[in-house]
Structure formats: C-alpha cells, structure tokens
Structure 1
Amino acid sequence: MGDPGEMLDPVTNPKLKTQLREYGRRSRTDGPYADNLEVDALVVGGGFGGVFCFYSLRKAGLKTVIYEAGTDLGGTWRWNCYPGAMVDSEVPEYQLSIPETWKTYNWPNNYPGYQELRDYFDHCDKVLDIKSQTAFESVVTEARFNTDEGRWYVKTADGRTAKAKYLVLAAGFAAKRYVPPWEGIDKFKGIVHHSSFWPDEEIDVSGKRCGIIGTGASGVQITQAWGPKAGHLKVFQRTPNLTVPMRLRKLSAEEQEEAKKWYPELFDLRERCFGGFLYDFCEKTTFEDTPEDREKFFEKL
C-alpha cells in the first residue's frame, strides 16, 4: 500500500479521490475543531486503537482529543463500506476490552459486516462519550516536536494547528492506500471506485459491465456481492488466493451473556497470543500428529 499523501501523478481521474487529504475540511470551529488547540494528548485516528487510547488517556486525567480523517468513528470500517465488506476476525475477540462497551452490547453474528461495526462504534460513543471530543474530517499533514517546549505541534490539511504534550498516532496500517500508476487510467471513460475510498451511497450495477482488479480480501468480498447483481462481471487476478468458508452464524443474546462470564479471561489471553487471536503456534510439524489428531487440531482452529 502506498502513502495517501504521495499518490502518483498518472492517477488524475476526477471521479476517484486518491489522496486522504482531499477529505479534510473544517466543518466547525468549536471544541476539538478549534484552531490553535492546546491539549494534554492528541490521538490521530478514530478506529479501535484510537478509541482505546483516547479512553485510557482520559481515564488517566489527561485532556484528550481525537483527530479523525473520516466523517465518523470506526477507522477502517468508516471507509471500507464496499459491497460485502465484513471482518474476518471472529467475535468475541474482535472488540474492545473496555468493560463499559462489552457489558452492554451484543453482536448480531460472529463475523460482523461493516454496518454492524459502525453500529458498534455508535454504541461505544454512547457509553464512553467520544464524539464530543473528536474532530472529524481532520487530516493530519504535519507533526513536529519542539524540544525546548516539550510539545508537539500538529497541523491539519485545512490549516488548523494544535499543541499537545503527548501525540498518539493510531492511524493503523489500513490508512495507507495504493492506486497503481497504470498508464491511461486517467483516460478511462467509465466509473472507477477504490475499495478503501468507497462511497456511502449504493452503486447500482444491474445490467452493467463491471471489472474487479485483484482478489485480496476486498476483491473476493466485492466479487461475491456483485456476482449475482451485475450484468457482466470479470475478475482480473494476478495471483490466486486462498479462500475458506467463513462459517457465518447468528449469535443469540443468551449465548453472549453466558459467554461474558469469561470475557476478562479471553481478553487477557488475547494479549498473550500471537496476532491477538485465541490460539497460538503449534510446535509440532504437520505429520508428527496422527491424521485424527491433526484433523482435530485444524477443526479447533
């Protein structure tokens, strides 16, 4: 993925925004939107990491605000609203460990879609009061540390400045987009969409000829969603990818309330496992186990 602030010149199609800073604007002047803002801590990013950092810093007594490039909380899930978008990490491990959030919330299924994840962030705001201290559409373009003052000076794309003792960059790896520098892409006369810059409004593909380039997670999900709807769909794939059944299922409130008894233990285990999942490496090689034990291990995963 490339830096959204350093997109290549050939990609100039006006129908497709390719730089994150294009989304920055000043819609308000009060609270966290104020110019020359002075706070104890400034968090960049309003996704899972940013929300948790905001919660922790505020709990420690620090005056904290969030600068978020999108129009709402959610991070990746505010931007990734393409057809079929859903997380491939399972609930309950894919959520915040903040008690106020999980004690009062139940998920509709074990692999939430993007809208369900947006609903979850709305719930987090309801119980934690995050949005009142968040400046949306605020794209950070510069951050400099003044050694004499011991303070960070931060600038946004629309020209605002902020000063903070602590700067937490919680933009996440998914904040970087890549648009290939293909020759002639700026001359394409059709409609172009990028999976991580997807519009909120639904795109009608009925009766239309559509092409999907790439079969990573986003490409696979869009293909599944558009396959039955598009007039004609062609997928362009460079490297075959591995896809497995998701085993999506509904979750009842009763099931989740019972499981919450061991959530604290689950969240503790998550911190000690590689990748944050509820399983770790197996020290055996594939054929050291019997076929039966090997199959049992794979089914457990």
Structure 2
Amino acid sequence: MSATLEATAPAAAQALDFDAIIIGAGMSGLYQLLRLRELGLRVRVFEAGTGVGGTWYWNRYPGARFDSESYSYGYSFSKELLEEWSWSEHFAPQPETQRYLNFVADKFDLRRDIQFKARVASAYWQEEGRHWAVALEDGSRHTARFLITAIGVLSAPTLPRFEGIDTFQGQSFHTARWPHEAVEFRGKRVAVIGTGATGVQTIQEVAKTAGHLTVFQRTPNWCAPLHNRPISEAEQQEIKAGYPEIFRRCQETFSCFMHTPDPRATFEVSKEEREAFYETLYASPGFGIWVGNFRDMLTDRAANKEISDFVAGKIRQRVKDPKVAEMLIPKNHGFGTRRVPLETRYYEVYNQPNVTLVDSKATPIERITPTGIKTSEAEYAFDIIIYATGFDAITGAFDRIDIRGRDGTPLKERWAHGPETFMGMMVEGFPNMLMLMGPHTALGNIPRSIEYNVDWVTRLLRHLQEKGLTLAEARPEAVRAWTDHVKLVGAGLLSSEVDSWMTGINSNVEGKQTRIIARYSGSAPEYRAWCDAVADKGYPDLRLA
C-alpha cells in the first residue's frame, strides 16, 4: 500500500442518487458537467436560477459586458464550437454572452442533467457511507459521492446596511438581481449607489435617458477606457484562424489575459518614454493599462504614483468641473491596486446637466425613505434606486450554504479567520468536496482558469475511478504549505494593503472588515505548474482511500 493510498473500513453499502452533485450552472458548472459525463458518471447540477449562465444570467443590468476580449473569454475546449460561434463585438454585452452559454448548453445537451429553480440550502458530509447529503430550499434531499461547487467568485450580492430599504415606494434593484423585463429610465429621477465596476457600467447607460441621475459615491475608483467596437467580417475570420495562438497566449501570460506585464521597470526608461507608453496603453482596448503596464507598477510605490498621476491627469482633462474631477480621483489607493473598471465615456457623464455626483463619505446616507434617500445634508426624491453595491466576494457564496465537513464542522467556522485551502480546490476536513474558482485559486481571465480547474478535477476523479477509490481528502500539511505559499506570493503587493473585495473586505457584511488573503496573487503558469505536479506525482498531498 503506497503512502498516499490508505486502507480504511469499507463504506456502508448505500445506493446514492448521483456520483456527483454540482452546485451552479454557470461557465464552470456547465463545463464540469460535460467533463464528468465523459467519465460516465451520474451527475446532477442544481441551479438557483431559471436558466444557465451564472454571472451572465443574474447580472443583466444596463451596460453589463465583458472587459476581457470576447474571443479570449469563451470556451476553448471544442474546435467545432469555436468555428460555429461568432462574437459581434470585441467586448461582448451581457445578452450576447447569455445567448452564447445557452448555445453551449443546447449544443452539448446539458439541460437534461440540470435542475433549475433549485437553490442548495445545505450540504453535510456523511462519514458513514462516505458521501454528501445535499438539501435544497424546497426541502428535497439528494446524495452523491462527490460535491463540486461551481458557485462563482462574484455571485453573492450585498445590499448596504441602511435603515428603511424596504420602505421605499418606487422601484429598486441590486444590479445582480435585475428584473427580466425592461426598466424605463426616461424622465425618471434615478439614484445609483456605488461606483465600482458594475456601477460604472450602469451609470454610463442610465445617464443617457434618465430625467435626472444622482450618483452616490463612497470611494472613487480608477477607471480606464474600454475602447470597444464591432468585429468586422475580416476580423472574424482572422480571429477564428488565430484561436490556437490566442489561447496559447492566454496560457503564457501572468493572469491569462491577452496582456501581460511589460518586462521593464518604470524608472528604467525616461520620463518621455514613460508618458508615451502610458498614452499608448490608455488609447488601447482592454486591460492592457492594468495588467500590461511596467512590471513594478503594483509593487513599487513611486512607480505606482507615476501611473496614478497620469490617470488623474486624464480625469481632470475629461471632467469639466475641477471640483467634480477631484471627487472622482481616488486618494486612498493607487491605480491598479483595486480592480480597474473599464468605461466608455464614463467621466463625460459628469459633464451632463442631468447628472449630480454626491460624496457619500462626506455626507453619508442615513437612511432610505419611502420617497428616496436622506443623507446627513439633504433629502432626495427618487423614482428608482439602483444598488451597485457589489458582492460578498470569493467566500460569500460559500457562506450562504450550510456546508459541514467531518464531525459536523461548518465551513464558515473553518474559514472564520480567513480561508485555508489546497490549491484553491480542496479544504482539509471536507472530503470529496472540490471547488471550482474557490478562494486561493488563480483568478485573472476567469474562463481560462475555469477550464484548467475543471480539467484538474476531472483528472482526479478519473484517477479515483481507475483505482477503485471513493475518497479524496487534502492532507493538513498540504493545506498549510499551499496557504503559506499564497500568503508569500501576496506579500509586497500594494493591493494587499488596500481594502477591496480582493482582500476580503466588505463593509456591508458583518464580520468582513478584516483584511485577508482571499486569492492567489502569483502567475497563472506558476499555479498550473504546482497543480500539475501534484497530479503527475500521483496525488501525494491527498489522502486517498
């Protein structure tokens, strides 16, 4: 018997409903379902919504779209799928992405194994029988050998803790729970609370038709131009012919985007060269100015100040009122140390006579009233209130399910002082639970990370299947080693010093005011090398039985 394969008492004979249960029918859940089918496993996907798509099902607010290039975002696993689907824009809007994921679900006949309107309430590990017992909110119960979470990084929306939210008599929505029917803004008095990535996209669209739009901003964010445009027929052919190179490029870059850090340090070049480089990045589409900048932009304070000053100058050029421009320039963090929203004429919105910007840090919102919003300074009347107040990120979706491992230990309790994982995919004391895009995994261009993680999980389950094994559990020493590594690669990053969803901070959620390391900050190639080594060596970091 090898050191990694341990004999244990045989599991109690019990007919399980499924071999694997997957929670969520977004991009990761759909692909994992397809891969597990190839293993011949009996799989059920439980999805809370009425359709597939995950992020792109729930986030249907005005202006929602990719900020990764469309052709780098879609699935890469099927040459036929790549040839059949054509993206209409370089950065596709939400309705198109939802159509794409429905197209994928239909092409591979995935819906027959998905149960919609099925929100998972709890999942308890059963030591006797070695399986997971899963209960839905409707009271139904199901069992499976393996539990796979495909619940997303940004999928647990949060409302601010204002008094009176339920008393408002007009229309109100969180951007991530937008109604399926159209919302009319023409002639309406509209409030948007929040200026993160979602808020920026929403504000740009609402300002086009609203009678008057009032934006309540607590913390300004550094934004950069998206530079989106339609894809011409000639470009379409180039893209399809170039898919192998596109995905090869994504495999090689630091965070799986088309862009990767410039090998030069900021002060290795002259001031004139720096300015020219910044101008080129600012005029280029996508995340290049964030993830394709000088290599020391996110670690050296002086380097970060250079790019921050450059972008601040652009904001001052684009916003006519100097006082409003200064309100829109962040003072508590440098450029790129929080997620950078990409925008299309966002700053010009504040030049419009129908738009007002309110500093809700200087004049805090005290409560929501039946007719609008009351701040410490004034009362505002609104017909519509939009909460662009973000998510309880990374761990939030796990917290909303009662997940209990060995000895009935709640996952939320295990992670009370910050997540501890093995490669972001497994948790000590939670056997046979595999996380797709859990904490401490490589983020960046999410679908590229999704495909890798799904393939790694599939390889593990194939290994168990071939060896006749029924249990896989991360060893404590492996969890400690990985968690220490995650902390190590996050050290020295300016972003690790900043309050944001990437460091686990959310003032709208009780207990989420302490900064933690919630994501893997190393490169995607390094992450994959670590994970590949574990599999190649026969999973010595796991207890297999």
Q: Tell whether the structures are fold-level matches, with TM greater than 0.5.
A: yes
Does structure 2 retain, via aligned residues, the 8 Å contact 1:286–1:294? no
Residue 265 and residue 139 in structure 1: after superposition, are their counterparts in 2 closer, same or farther (change >3 A)? same
Q: Within 5 Å, which residues of 2 pair with 1:123-202?
A: 123-202=103-182
Residue 215 and residue 293 in structure 1: after superposition, are their counterparts in 2 closer, same or farther (change >3 A)? closer
Give the letter for the 1:221 counterpart.
Q
Alpha-carbon distance in 1 for matches of 2:113, 2:182: 30
Q: Within 5 Å, which residues of 2 pair with 1:1-301?
A: 38-99=17-78, 100-290=80-270, 291-292=272-273, 295-296=276-277, 299=281, 301=288
Instruction: Name the stretch that deviates more: 173-182 or 286-295.
Output: 286-295
SS of aligned partner of 1:93: helix
Alpha-carbon distance in 2 for matches of 1:117, 1:150: 38
Alpha-carbon distance in 2 for matches of 1:50, 1:40: 15
SS of aligned partner of 1:275: coil
Give the letter for the 2:262 counterpart.
C
Give the letter for the 1:177 counterpart.
P
Alpha-carbon distance in 1 for matches of 2:173, 2:69: 28
Residue 272 and residue 69 in structure 1: after superposition, are their counterparts in 2 closer, same or farther (change >3 A)? farther
1:12 corresponds in structure 2 to none
Does structure 2 retain, via aligned residues, the 8 Å contact 1:212–1:236? yes
Instruction: Name the stretch that deviates more: 241-250 or 78-87.
Output: 241-250
Does structure 2 retain, via aligned residues, the 8 Å contact 1:93–1:278? yes
Tell me how far 1:271 sits from its aligned partner: 3.7
Give the letter for the 1:173 counterpart.
V
User: Is there any run of 5+ residues in structure 2 with no aligned partner, and where?
Assistant: 1-14, 289-545
Instruction: Name the stretch that deviates more: 59-68 or 214-223.
Output: 59-68
| Structure of higher RCO (CA pairs closer than 8 Å, 6+ residues apart) | 1
Give the letter for the 1:199 counterpart.
P
Tell me how far 1:189 sits from its aligned partner: 2.5
Does structure 1 retain, via aligned residues, the 8 Å contact 2:49–2:117? yes
Residue 240 and residue 293 in structure 1: after superposition, are their counterparts in 2 closer, same or farther (change >3 A)? closer
Alpha-carbon distance in 2 for matches of 1:217, 1:125: 28
Residue 207 and residue 128 in structure 1: after superposition, are their counterparts in 2 closer, same or farther (change >3 A)? same
Alpha-carbon distance in 2 for matches of 1:232, 1:104: 43
User: Is there any run of 5+ residues in structure 1 with no aligned partner, and where?
Assistant: 1-35
Give the letter for the 2:27 counterpart.
F
Tell me how far 1:263 sits from its aligned partner: 2.0
SS of aligned partner of 1:274: coil
Residue 253 and residue 72 in structure 1: after superposition, are their counterparts in 2 closer, same or farther (change >3 A)? farther
Does structure 2 retain, via aligned residues, the 8 Å contact 1:106–1:253? no
| Count of residues paired in the alignment | 266
Instruction: Name the stretch that deviates more: 101-110 or 274-283.
Output: 274-283
Tell me how far 1:208 sits from its aligned partner: 1.4
| 1:252-286: CA deviation from partner (whole Å, max 9, x where unpaired) | 34423333334234324424433321233334321
What TM-score, normalized by structure 2, do the two folds share?
Answer: 0.46
Tell me how far 1:40 sits from its aligned partner: 1.3
| 1:48-88: CA deviation from partner (whole Å, max 9, x where unpaired) | 11112112111222122211111111101101111111121
Tell me how far 1:193 sits from its aligned partner: 0.9
Give the letter for the 1:286 counterpart.
T
Does structure 2 retain, via aligned residues, the 8 Å contact 1:101–1:123? no
Instruction: Name the stretch that deviates more: 112-121 or 159-168.
Output: 159-168
| 1:212-244: CA deviation from partner (whole Å, max 9, x where unpaired) | 001111111111111121111110111112222
Tell me how far 1:198 sits from its aligned partner: 0.6
Alpha-carbon distance in 1 for matches of 2:253, 2:50: 33
Residue 112 and residue 292 in structure 1: after superposition, are their counterparts in 2 closer, same or farther (change >3 A)? same
| 1:13-70: CA deviation from partner (whole Å, max 9, x where unpaired) | xxxxxxxxxxxxxxxxxxxxxxx98111111111111112112111222122211111
Alpha-carbon distance in 1 for matches of 2:105, 2:23: 17
1:19 corresponds in structure 2 to none
| 1:93-149: CA deviation from partner (whole Å, max 9, x where unpaired) | 111112142231111111111100011012102221111211111111101111221
Does structure 2 retain, via aligned residues, the 8 Å contact 1:66–1:133? yes
